[in-house]
Structure 1
């Protein structure tokens, strides 16, 4: 049975971000970011609950609402209130990096490992387990231990999932971080890292710290054929830069490559960034600015 470990400072980032985004202004935030209609653009999440979690079809929607409402009380992130976490879009035919990751993880004799950063209820990990990936090689982390616990409630797999789920803060001081479960359990063990709805919450300086620590998660024996890969989605911008009000940095491909060039200098590694703007509606909340766009990114280690 998987266990949840915690490290200190668990409430800091989420609660600060909630206030920064204006989520403490209850009425307006609720109106814009909270819906009572489940958006069934695709049915992967329903399939997961019915076939993986064995929830009767007539109980699925009630269970989704029950867990979502509990999560909303922890931190009022837009992806929770608007149910965007249900989409599991990274498993669609137009998302080649997840297909490649799944193939690597399922290959005969594979020792590759997968880490989900900012995993919320770790629905991505559940789909990989459902797809046949050995869950002993799946790892997940989120700032809030409550979300990881809600994942066990949502998917009813506390006794069967062998993934390692760890709550912790990627921005602890160096001394605290070195002693934290994140560093102790992840450093030098990962092949593939996935992070969505994550980087756009942080400043350039914080992103540098986080990315340096992600680099340390990767195994040292990966090759050009099976390199270290970080991928996912976040909110970028057609006019990259700092969002002044919130001190978060929004990227296009050029600035994200520059960030990873600096990370490479600091860690003695080399990285190639690919990023594309997706043909999706402008993201909410529009506090990210009129030039904000949803982007898909892949960061691949260059191995000589």
Structure 2
């Protein structure tokens, strides 16, 4: 397995590395990354709060702003400041992979389990429950335990949600990671994983470590008909490589395939990448450069 040292963890994205993101100039960062109105269509998120969480319609927007502001006070991610997480585009009907995942999870006698990586307040998990998926087979993880708590506050389901949500760092050094709650909870249990606005937060080297650990999350008994699948969307690029501002790595289909080929060689597994551009990067915030593009991807295990 690729290794991460105790002293170098440049791919970790969170409170520990905010200074690397320009957040020390807080006013400038806020002007770029924080908005006072929700700039997107968010009917699916609103529907969750009204019908799943039973929040009165006239209170929904205030509740969204309340939790967003608490989250921004913890970590100043662009997706928090700009309300990216309320879009829920995977449930819009044109994301075939999410529909396939729902079908697998809702099938009679299904034993499949779903994992949300970098789930923030785990809005995707709640939408799956709303779509009729058994929450006992839903798992999620994020670097920040505070986000898990904010999810319970946002969706008001602490007593009813049976999903397993674990805070942890996928870039812990090998020895520490082996005994971590992440490894102990997820290894060998997952059929389908989802990660959006995730990979573009990390360097190439960190992505190698993360992907290898994701592979260990997957069950060993999956079939060619129902293989291990990871899917989602993230910021890619027409000119893949290391970003100037964040120092993270943006992919096109060829480089993402190369990443998974490399990890496949290390784990004696094979993976097929499919990727499509779904839109240009938004003009604000866009710290990823003029060649950045929002892409949708699928990584499927290839039977030996």
* Shift, 1:279, TM fit: 2.6
Residue of structure 2 in register with 1:249 after alignment: 249
SS at match of 1:72: helix
| Other structure's SS at 1:287 match | coil
| Counterparts of residues 284-299 of structure 1 (less than 5 Å) | 284-299=284-299
Contact 2:13 2:201 in 1 (8 A): no
The correspondence of residues 68-217 of structure 1 with structure 2, limited to 5 A, is 68-217=68-217
C-alpha distance 26-209 of structure 1, shift in aligned 2 (>3 A): same
Q: Is the 8 A contact 1:177 1:183 kept in 2?
A: yes
**Equivalents in 2 of 1:282, 1:50: separation in Å?**
28
1:281 CA drift (Å): 4.3
C-alpha distance in 2, partners of 1:51/1:179? 39
Q: Secondary structure at the match of 2:119?
A: coil
Q: Match for residue 4 of structure 2?
A: none
Give the deviation of 1:222 after TM superposition.
0.4
The alignment's TM-score, normalised by the length of structure 2, stands at 0.94
2:26 paired with 1:26: yes
- The 1:210–1:77 alpha-carbon spacing in structure 2 relative to 1, beyond 3 Å, is same
Question: Which string of whole-angstrom CA distances, capped at 9 and with x for unpartnered residues, describes residues 26-73 of structure 1?
Answer: 111111211111235140011000000011111111111110000001
| Offset of residue 195 of structure 1 | 0.5
Q: CA deviation at 1:282?
A: 3.7
Are 2:14 and 2:75, in contact at CA under 8 Å, matched by a contact in 1? Answer: yes
Contact preservation (8 Å) 1:117, 1:193: yes
Q: TM-score, with normalisation over the residues of structure 1?
A: 0.94
Counterpart of 1:261 in structure 2 is 261
Give the deviation of 1:252 after TM superposition.
0.2
2:14 alignment counterpart = 14
> Contact conserved, 1:14 with 1:75, CA < 8 A, in 2?
yes
Give 1:20 deviation, angstroms: 2.2
Match of 2:50 in 1: 50
> Residue deviations 1:88-130, cap 9 Å, x none?
0011111111010011000111110000000000000000011
* 1:290 to partner: Cα distance: 1.6
CA distance in 2, matches of 1:64, 1:106: 29
Partner of 2:3: none
Residues 165-212 of structure 1, C-alpha deviations (whole Å, 9 max, x = no match): 000000000011001000000000000000011111111110000000
Q: Tell me the distance in 1 between the aligned counterparts of 2:173 and 2:302.
A: 29
Q: Say whether residues 1:239 and 2:239 are aligned partners.
A: yes
CA distance in 1, matches of 2:216, 2:226: 17
Are the aligned partners of 1:118 and 1:142 in contact in 2 as well (CA < 8 Å)? yes
Which residue of structure 2 aligns with residue 4 of structure 1?
none
Contact persistence 1:283–1:292 (CA under 8 A): no
Alignment coverage as a number of residue pairs: 294
Change (3 A) 1:242 1:25: same
Please list, as runs of the form range in 1=range in 2, the aligned pairs for 1:209-228 lying within 5 A after superposition: 209-228=209-228
SS in 2 for 1:295: strand
